[in-house]
A and B are shown apart, each in its own frame.
Chain A
Amino acid sequence: MDATTVLAEINGNIATVGYGLAAIGPAIGVGIVVGKTIEGVARQPELAGRLQVLMYIGIAFTEALAFIGIATYFIFV
């Protein structure tokens, strides 16, 4: 009798799991950046312009992480 029994088989590409993991960080990051910007604009509406620029920098850095995470699919598979 066979010593090992296959209970479940997983098919597909492991890169999909990688993308899921890569999405967690930027999602939390952008959530915090945008949430804090809304908070700031609500407290001081006259600073909206400045806060938009700072928010943009925050989004740019977090989305860079996501882009690189997704683009790794090109070489690591």
Chain B
Amino acid sequence: MSTPTPRATSAATGSSARPVFVRILKWGGLLALAIAVIGGVTGFLVDSERGLVSALVGTAMAILFTGLTATSILVANRFSGTDFFTAIFFAVVMGAWIVKFAIFLVLVFLLRDQPWINPVVMFLCIIAGVLGSLIVDVVVVATSRMSYASDVTLPGE
């Protein structure tokens, strides 16, 4: 008598949405690299080393903070299959969201008056990073394939 091999169900892998979020993070990383290079060169031409550093910090802030939502969903999905999954999921995602904004606010207030920061270059890089990550999100979600009713566990599984 052979024992049935366990199937990779949604409870084991987290969620059917996992590949989408992983792709979003990968493409977001590539976008950050592109903005860092273009913004860094432009910043360097505008305000030498000060502009370069501002561009890199701005890009890092934008991509880190926008990517944190996808990361928090991936982390929260590790609890799928547990009794309080819905509560844990929204607590993790919304908790990460509010902490992220608190840290972003503190960073903005701290960096604003630093002598080694060019505020305009940094602002433009943050805007480019945020808008670019939105484009990446939409393109990845629009081109990803997800079946309807994918997170189903049949009786006996």
Contact = CB atoms under 8 A, between A and B. Distances in A.
B67 to A, nearest CB: 10
Contact of A56 (B86, B120, B137): B137
A77 B149 CA distance: 50
Nearest to B100: A63
A33 B93 CA distance: 12
Main secondary structure of the interface of B (DSSP, over half): helix
Interface string B115-152: 00001101100110011011001100100101011111
A11 to B, nearest CB: 17
Given A34-B90, A48-B15, A71-B126, A53 B66 contact: no
Interface residues of B, number: 46
Main secondary structure of the interface of A (DSSP, over half): helix
Interface residues of A, number: 33
A19 to B, nearest CB: 7
A61 B90 CA distance: 18
Interface of B: 10, 15-17, 20-21, 24, 62, 65-66, 69-70, 73, 77, 80, 86, 90, 93-94, 97, 101, 104-105, 108-109, 112, 119-120, 122-123, 126-127, 130-131, 133-134, 137-138, 141, 144, 146, 148-152
